[in-house]
Structure 1
Amino acid sequence: MDTALLVGLAHRSALKRRMDVVAHNIANMSTAAFNKERSVFRQHLIDVPGAAGTVGGKIATVMDHGVVRNLEAGTMIPTSNPLDIFINGRAYLSIEGSDGQTVYTRNGRMTLDADRNLTLLSGEKVLDDNGQPIQFDEDDIDISIATDGSISTNNGERGRIGIVSFANEQNMKRRGNSLYETDQAPQPPENMTEFTIRQKAYEGSNVNPIESMVEMIDVMRAYEAASKQSSGIEEMRKDSLSRLAQVK
């Protein structure tokens, strides 16, 4: 086993993975309610062969352990659309996914479809606190969304948006850029101090473009340095083999 080659490959693989995560963050800095991510690695120890089949020691490399989402809320972006909402607090909207399963999001950019169902801009239906789609009549106007998610129009109450929370948000799996699925049982917010709804606004991405660009440059430089180091080791190996071949 070529230990130097193995360590070099592990280092570059980790840097490539980190670059992929940073690039994904930058690509979604304009995506509503997108949470930036960071790659997580863990140390992996490998045995170094010694004489006569013994273990000569251990050497540390890195292994991809996954990604962690930054759960800090994005910037509140005001709009003129009465259907847009910003969630202040750690809560999610209940959404009917394209496969009919309930998924969740903090993306509050909404509209009405051809059947006057309340939907996300991407077409998924927003559910009420009973798990049913929210539909408006043709003569419903002056739509108002209260701080607790209750919806009313000129014709009276139209229900309440399904707002839920989860014990472990990091275990929620991303579906697309702003939808999440989870096996956890959703919990309704226990009281009004846990969240509030702001109408005519939505949550932007929490990606800081300057920080992300600086991180990308750092990763690129680290990858170049790792590549040069591996090339240097390879040149030393070739030189050593050349010198051994000349020994009589």
Structure 2
Amino acid sequence: MDAILYTAMNGARQTLDEQSVVTHNLSNASTTGFRAQLAAARAVPVQGPGPLDTRVAAVTTTGLFDTRAGAIQTTERDLDVALDQANWLAVQTPTGEAYTKRGDLQVDADGQLLVNGMPVLGDGGPILVPLGTQLSIGNDGTLSGIGLGGDANELVPLDRLKLVRVDQPQQLERSADGWFRSPNGGALERDETAQVVSGALEGSNVNTIEAMVAMIDTQRRYELNMSVIKTADETAQQANSLLSVKG
């Protein structure tokens, strides 16, 4: 009986973890450049006092992500860029260099180029642009600008976006803050051949139909596990009652 309860409880907990991932994906179905989170279960030994040598627990790993590209949407905005499927944009976070598929760039009041609130990296670190500059981004990620009051013939190269190439999913993992990082914490090399599409953005790669089906599936599996727990508990109570009568 103990084994039945333990197995069902472990299954219910694992299902709730999966449901949390699906909910997170659905809430980001319209987020620019979002990569759907994947949940994978792995068995780990249970640690603690008592005879637990035969017990294992299912632990959910959520650093994995769907590598499929999202749909490209034309915006015609000068600071919007869509990246090639294998390329990622480098940003500077408080804990070091990280990467994103988002391409909706902004310039703050100090002239710093940002994406989702984090400084975008260029050739020499975070990119700074003169205030009032009219900016454009070339297909190779070169950031050029026309000074205040200038004309199109005075377009001056300012910096170049740091774009890295990720051919294998294991080269990156999703951190708790939503940014992607190298598993060893190091910085990836710039991809000199990287190309971007200016005036466009890559949408989320979440398939809402698949996510809704997964949500229904996890809910049913959770209910099934809870039903097993309830049945096992009722059976145990009936067994105790019979023992009490015989006693």
TM-score, length of structure 2 as denominator length: 0.83
Q: Which residue identity lines up with residue 121 of structure 2 in the other structure?
A: L
Distance (whole Å) between structure 2 residues aligned to residue 131 and residue 117 of structure 1: 11
Please report how far the alpha carbon of residue 89 of structure 1 lies from its aligned counterpart in structure 2 after TM superposition.
Answer: 2.9
Aligned to 2:117: 123
Aligned to 2:188: 186
Q: Does 1:174 align with 2:185?
A: no
Task: Rate the CA distance shift 1:172–1:129 in 2: closer, same or farther, 3 A.
Answer: farther
Aligned to 1:152: 144
1:80 is paired with a residue whose SS is: coil
Do the aligned residues in 1 keep the contact of 2:87 with 2:163 (CA within 8 Å)? yes
Q: Which residue identity lines up with residue 70 of structure 1 in the other structure?
A: D
Task: Rate the CA distance shift 1:137–1:241 in 2: closer, same or farther, 3 A.
Answer: closer
Distance (whole Å) between structure 1 residues aligned to residue 207 and residue 174 of structure 2: 22
Q: Does 1:228 align with 2:227?
A: yes
Aligned to 1:108: 103
Please report how far the alpha carbon of residue 160 of structure 1 lies from its aligned counterpart in structure 2 after TM superposition.
Answer: 1.0
Instruction: Give CA-to-partner distance per residue, 1:214-236, whole Å, 9 cap, x none.
Output: 10011101111111111111111
Q: Does 1:69 align with 2:80?
A: no
Do the aligned residues in 1 keep the contact of 2:127 with 2:159 (CA within 8 Å)? no
Matches within 5 A, 1:25-174: 25-43=25-43, 63-67=58-62, 68-97=64-93, 99=94, 101-120=96-115, 122-138=116-132, 140-141=133-134, 143-154=135-146, 155=154, 156-166=156-166, 169-170=169-170, 171-174=172-175
Do the aligned residues in 2 keep the contact of 1:14 with 1:62 (CA within 8 Å)? no
Distance (whole Å) between structure 2 residues aligned to residue 239 and residue 87 of structure 1: 63
Aligned to 1:51: none
Count of residues in correspondence between the two structures: 231
1:16 is paired with a residue whose SS is: helix
Distance (whole Å) between structure 2 residues aligned to residue 128 and residue 227 of structure 1: 53
Please report how far the alpha carbon of residue 242 of structure 1 lies from its aligned counterpart in structure 2 after TM superposition.
Answer: 0.8
Do the aligned residues in 2 keep the contact of 1:127 with 1:162 (CA within 8 Å)? yes
Distance (whole Å) between structure 1 residues aligned to residue 197 and residue 86 of structure 2: 14
Distance (whole Å) between structure 2 residues aligned to residue 109 and residue 147 of structure 1: 15
Do the aligned residues in 2 keep the contact of 1:151 with 1:159 (CA within 8 Å)? yes
TM-score, length of structure 1 as denominator length: 0.82
Distance (whole Å) between structure 2 residues aligned to residue 23 and residue 126 of structure 1: 29
Distance (whole Å) between structure 1 residues aligned to residue 168 and residue 125 of structure 2: 21
Task: Rate the CA distance shift 1:167–1:134 in 2: closer, same or farther, 3 A.
Answer: farther
RMSD of equivalent CA atoms: 2.7
1:63 is paired with a residue whose SS is: strand
Distance (whole Å) between structure 1 residues aligned to residue 243 and residue 86 of structure 2: 66
Task: Rate the CA distance shift 1:12–1:158 in 2: closer, same or farther, 3 A.
Answer: same
Q: Which segments of 5 or more consecutive residues in structure 2 lack a partner in the other structure? A: 147-153
Do the aligned residues in 2 keep the contact of 1:166 with 1:184 (CA within 8 Å)? no
